[in-house]
Amino acid sequence: MTKPRLYSGMQPSADSLQIGNYIGALMQWRDLQQAYDAYFSVVDLHALTQPNDPAELRQKTRRTAAQYIAAGIEPSRSTLYVQSHVRAHAELAWILSTITGFGEAGRMTQFKDKSQRYGSDATSVGLFTYPVLMAADILLYQTDIVPVGDDQKQHVELTRDLAERFNSRYGDTFRVPMPVIQQDTARIYDLQNPTAKMSKSAESDAGVLWLLDDPSVSAKKVMRAVTDSEGSVRYDREAKPGVSNLLVIYAALTGRQIPAIEDEYAGRGYGDFKKGLAEVVVGEFGPVRERALELLADPAELDRVLATNAARADEVADATLAAVYDKVGLLRRV
Ligand code: AQP
């Protein structure tokens, strides 16, 4: 029996992924790859919507791929590739852009947020059409499910609308994918500003736990995380965002329930709790970091793995694109 298909990706927007990417995405991908025919992409074309140094972008792309593998994505089981290696992404995005309404794209809240943040001079057409490229990413693989954070839900809705529109205009071509929204408890907040999502592009480094941080640096960041003056290890997202965030990280990395962790640290104060969490973080990330650095020490081998996987992705993507070109009436090259 063929497995249902899954697509997801991350932008190579930093040298290292952060613990939010790990808990919110990579840990789930690692589990899902058993039951799904999974496609995991490093979406470098998406990353071009923000200013980049070319040499750094190449480096970040390799580093992101290495961290996928180090975190447990198996390139022999899942198709783990770099988006720009598969030409069909950009080509399908063009076709889909011709059936996307200008107003429809303008309603995307992420575009509104980001364009406001960057200002009109730094807001490109590429940033505006970002969700159309994302729709192409997903639809090329006849995807059944797309695991995403809550902030990406609107983009998957647009993807579904475009698939349905294309299918009704030109005949059945695309599978209409379902978003699988990650639990709110999988959302990780900045250690210094625990009401803001932890992010690769955070302004300050102090609140971000990087996967590739030296273990002693990760431990220090945990010890310095913002808490409150109450002194009791208790989950209360509203009143105690800092401690609650640390509890969520603890629970996610150990697979334990939050009440059990609260019980363990009852009456022991924040110092002990943070020390415990620092051990958990270092224990989890140490091996991931080592494996990622090993992979990065042999870039030729990493590039070879990515090329083999891109060839696998090409096969599926090219078949979808050929069908699309036929349906819309492009003349076949003989
Ligand atoms: N703080 C977080 N908690 C839980 N999940 C998170 N993700 C990101 N931050 C958290 C999940 O990681 C994946 C990364 O997707 P992306 O690289 O396309 O961009 P993003 O969501 O915007 O992630 P960042 O780290 O905040 O990157 P920048 O700063 O480049 O925008 C997604 O599955 C996301 O849900």
> Within this chain, do residues 125 and 95 fall inside the same structural domain, yes or no?
yes
Q: Tens of pLDDT along 159-189?
A: 999 999 999 999 999 999 999 987 766 789 9
Task: Give dist(CA 146, CA 8) in Å, integer.
Answer: 6
> Within this chain, do residues 10 and 68 fall inside the same structural domain, yes or no?
yes
CA 25 to centroid of ligand 1, rounded, Å:
8
pLDDT at 182: 76
- Tell me which residue of 153, 130, 143, 193 sits closest to 36, measured CA to CA: 143
> Within this chain, do residues 120 and 90 fall inside the same structural domain, yes or no?
yes
Please report whether residue 193 resides in a domain.
no
Task: Give dist(CA 263, CA 154) in Å, integer.
Answer: 39
- Tell me which residue of 296, 244, 297, 295 sits closest to 273, measured CA to CA: 244
Please report whether residue 191 resides in a domain.
no
**Positions in the chain whose pLDDT score sits under 70:** 184-185
> Within this chain, do residues 129 and 274 fall inside the same structural domain, yes or no?
no
Spacing of C-alpha 278 from chain mean position: 24
Query: DSSP letters along 43-111, please?
Result: -HHHHTTS---HHHHHHHHHHHHHHHHHTT--TTTSEEEEGGGSTHHHHHHHHHHTTS-HHHHHT-HHH
193, 221 Cβ separation under 8 angstroms? no
> Within this chain, do residues 278 and 310 fall inside the same structural domain, yes or no?
no
pLDDT at 82: 98
Please report whether residue 195 resides in a domain.
no
Mutate to test the pocket of ligand 1, among 8, 10, 48 (most ligand atoms within 8 A of CB): 10
Catalytic residues: 114, 197, 200
Which amino acid is located at 57 in the chain? L
- Tell me which residue of 78, 75, 60, 70 sits closest to 305, measured CA to CA: 75
Which tokens go with 131?
A: 């969700």
Please report whether residue 192 resides in a domain.
no
Please report whether residue 199 resides in a domain.
no
Q: Tens of pLDDT along 61-92?
A: 999 999 999 999 999 999 999 999 999 999 99
> Within this chain, do residues 311 and 278 fall inside the same structural domain, yes or no?
no
pLDDT at 201: 85
CATH number, domain of 233, equals 1.10.240.10
pLDDT at 185: 61
Domain that holds residue 285: 205-293
pTM of this structure: 0.95
> Within this chain, do residues 64 and 136 fall inside the same structural domain, yes or no?
yes
Which tokens go with 316?
A: 């599926």
Strands 37-42 and 5-10: parallel
Cβ atoms within 10 Å of 65's Cβ, excluding its own: 29
Atom 23 of ligand 1: nearest residue by CA position = 199
pLDDT at 203: 85
Q: Which ligand 1 atom is at minimum distance from the Cα of 43?
A: 18
Domain count for the chain: 2
Q: Which ligand 1 atom is at minimum distance from the Cα of 14?
A: 30
> Within this chain, do residues 133 and 222 fall inside the same structural domain, yes or no?
no
Q: Which ligand 1 atom is at minimum distance from the Cα of 201?
A: 29
pLDDT at 59: 97
Atom 34 of ligand 1: nearest residue by CA position = 149
Please report whether residue 227 resides in a domain.
yes
Residue whose tokens read 């990413």: 137
> Within this chain, do residues 14 and 121 fall inside the same structural domain, yes or no?
yes
Atom 26 of ligand 1: nearest residue by CA position = 199
CATH number, domain of 63, equals 3.40.50.620
Please report whether residue 149 resides in a domain.
yes
pLDDT at 151: 81
Cβ atoms within 10 Å of 186's Cβ, excluding its own: 17
Residue ranges around ligand 1 (CB below 6 Å): 10-11, 13, 18, 20-21, 23-25, 148-149, 186-188, 197-201
Helix runs in the chain, H state only: 19-21, 27-35, 44-47, 54-70, 88-97, 102-106, 109-118, 125-140, 153-170, 215-223, 241-254, 258-264, 269-296, 299-328
> Within this chain, do residues 148 and 277 fall inside the same structural domain, yes or no?
no
pLDDT at 334: 87
> Within this chain, do residues 145 and 286 fall inside the same structural domain, yes or no?
no
Task: Give dist(CA 69, CA 71) in Å, integer.
Answer: 5
Task: Give dist(CA 132, CA 105) in Å, integer.
Answer: 8
Please report whether residue 317 resides in a domain.
yes
> Within this chain, do residues 277 and 170 fall inside the same structural domain, yes or no?
no
